[in-house]
Amino acid sequence: MSCLMALFLVSSFAQKNDSEDRTAEAITKLLVEKYDLTASQETKVLKIQQRKIKNQNEFAQLETTDIEKYVQKVSSNQRQTLHAMRMIFSKEQIVLLDEERMRVRKEKAAISYKMQKEGASAIDIRKALLDIK
């Protein structure tokens, strides 16, 4: 491999990681404001978000090659992220998180019901529900 090609690959990797880090930092900032996180919690949530984004990028190609597996992996990643956050949140923060999850659950139920009435397939419904956070 040429030196130029190696430099290009390293540069591409660094740009991707930089983009992932910026995204994780932006999400973390929103969560800090929403849940009034401590500095220690902020550091942990940032790591959780970085891991979530890294995982998402690793299985993103499945969306076009194996939609069932993609939906399964995204759902699992979301559950793991939620669990990790619950482990570091205080009781008061968990109450807020649970309220938000209830709101999301109701929104997902309404969309699922509407899509079922329109005749959407089960996998299309599951895929659409992934975007609701």
Where do the domains of the chain lie?
Answer: 6-130
Instruction: Show Cβ contacts of residue 54 under 8 Å, excluding neighbours closer than 6 positions.
Output: 20
Lowest mean pLDDT among 4-8, 94-98, 127-131: 4-8
Does the predicted TM-score (pTM) go above 0.85? no
The mean pLDDT value for 64-92 works out to 95
Nearest to 54 by CA among 32, 72, 77: 77
pLDDT (tens digit, 9 = 90+) per residue, 48-71?
Answer: 999 999 999 999 999 999 999 999
pLDDT (tens digit, 9 = 90+) per residue, 101-119?
Answer: 999 999 999 999 999 999 9
Do 130 and 74 meet the contact criterion of CB atoms below 8 Å apart?
yes
Instruction: Show Cβ contacts of residue 5 under 8 Å, excluding neighbours closer than 6 positions.
Output: none
d(CA 76, CA 127): 13
Q: How many CB atoms lie within 10 A of CB 68?
A: 12
Confidence of residue 16 (pLDDT cuts 50, 70, 90): low
